[in-house]
Amino acid sequence: MLLQVLGTAAGGGLPQWNCACPGCAGARAHPRRRRLHASLAVRADERRWYLVGATPDIGEQIERCSHLHPGPGPRDSPVAGVVLTDAELDHTLGLARLREADRFEILATEPVRGALLGRLRIGETLAPYTRVTWRELGTDAVPLAAGATVDVSAVPVAAKRPRYAAGTGPDAPTWAVALRLHERATGRTLLYAPALAHWNEDFEQAAEDADVVIVDGTFWDDDEPARAGVSARTARSMGHLPIDGPNGTARRLAALRARCLYTHLNNTNPLTDPDAQQHAQLAGSGLEVAADGMVIEL
Ligand code: MLT
Ligand code: MN
Ligand code: ZN
């Protein structure tokens, strides 16, 4: 299986346009510290690639990834569709930028589709421009594209819905899911969870089975949002398990056989500074921080 990391930042990106925190200031001063919004490109077969998430940076992300460039015909694109882990704006606003496509496909869980159609009106907005086909993303594996050798399935990880979708339908465990991408030919599996509110039993099972795990690294610890002065809430109450601490994700990841990388770093996260001592702490546990542009073959 072949994939490329298109971005590794949480909502707002790094730097965030209205933020003067040390992480954002550092990224302004040192362009190599910049991170685009968290997203992946995954090869479904020889011709077709799927984006995981459609971020506000989608145009730049496609340009930076040569696998996604158009050709040989003037409007041929290898981008066949988008798989959504959730309906958050940082993972969905880019859908509108795909309007120049002839057609594209969106794989999403039922509540995510409902929010995008009912609240963001993405269906009505895109209909005059392009043909969008929806496919339901569930816990049973389905081919990423018809005839593709990579299968995709969802592992529910959060009942937390986006703020713009407050009051739409009942609570569902599938508002945010981890994606399990499994290539039949090689038997290799990727688990991708940019938003992880609960390390539940199904997630543990999927993580134990996976060869590569790319997981929510939004906050270093539970108090980071309050300490940084951006929110009075804890990381957990915002739907993101912290990395560090007795019940942080680092300890659990370190126990897996998989190669494990963090993504979706908030701009307040000390890991946004390449010189931070937290990098050595993770490396000591065999854990990595994903970088924009990283190619992973598994
Ligand atoms: C999240 O990751 O929790 C969301 O993207 C938050 C947001 O951007 O509103
Ligand atoms: Mn986010
Ligand atoms: Zn900032």
Q: What is the largest CA-CA distance in the chain?
A: 54
Range of the structural domain that residue 105 is part of = 2-297
Burial classification of residue 171, based on how many CB atoms lie within 10 Å of its CB (0-12 exposed, 13-18 middle, 19 or more buried): exposed
- Cα gap 64→237, rounded to integer Å: 34
pLDDT in tens, 200-252: 999 999 999 999 999 999 999 999 999 999 899 999 999 999 999 988 999 99
Give the pLDDT score at 170: 83
pTM of the model: 0.97
The residue type of 130 is T
CA-CA-CA-CA torsion sign (239, 2, 274, 203): positive
pLDDT in tens, 31-77: 999 999 999 999 999 999 999 999 999 999 999 999 999 999 999 99
Give the pLDDT score at 247: 87
Give the pLDDT score at 22: 95
Give the pLDDT score at 168: 84
Give the pLDDT score at 182: 98
Give the pLDDT score at 105: 98
Residues with CB under 5 A from ligand 2 (ion): 10-11, 88, 90
Helices (DSSP H) in 151-259: which residue ranges?
Answer: 201-209, 224-227, 249-254
Point out the ligand nearest to the CA of residue 38: 2
How many CB atoms lie under 10 A from the CB of residue 30? 11
* Spatial strand order in the sheet of 49-52: 131-136, 103-108, 79-83, 49-52, 39-43, 2-7, 295-297
12 contacts: CB under 8 Å, gap ≥ 6:
19, 90, 266, 267
Give the pLDDT score at 161: 95
Pocket probe for ligand 1: among 90, 160, 216, 268, the residue whose CB has the most ligand atoms within 8 Å is 90
pLDDT in tens, 265-278: 999 999 999 999 99
Work out the pLDDT band at 284, boundaries 50, 70, 90.
Answer: very high
Give the pLDDT score at 296: 98
The minimum-distance atom of ligand 1 relative to the CA of 195 is 2
The minimum-distance atom of ligand 1 relative to the CA of 162 is 9
pLDDT in tens, 122-175: 999 999 999 999 999 999 999 999 999 999 999 999 999 999 999 987 889 999
CATH number of the CATH domain containing 211:
3.60.15.10
With CA atoms as reference, report the closest residue to 158 among 173, 169, 138: 173
Q: Which amino acids bring their CB within 6 angstroms of ligand 1?
A: 10-11, 88-90, 195, 238-239
Pocket probe for ligand 1: among 88, 89, 238, 241, the residue whose CB has the most ligand atoms within 8 Å is 88
- Cα gap 199→249, rounded to integer Å: 8
* Spatial strand order in the sheet of 259-263: 142-143, 150-158, 176-183, 189-193, 212-216, 259-263, 288-289
Number of domains in the chain: 1
The minimum-distance atom of ligand 1 relative to the CA of 194 is 2
The minimum-distance atom of ligand 1 relative to the CA of 12 is 8
Helix (H, G, I), strand (E, B) or coil at 39: strand
Residue 295 has pLDDT above 90, yes or no: yes
- The closest residue, in CA terms, to atom 6 on ligand 1 is 11
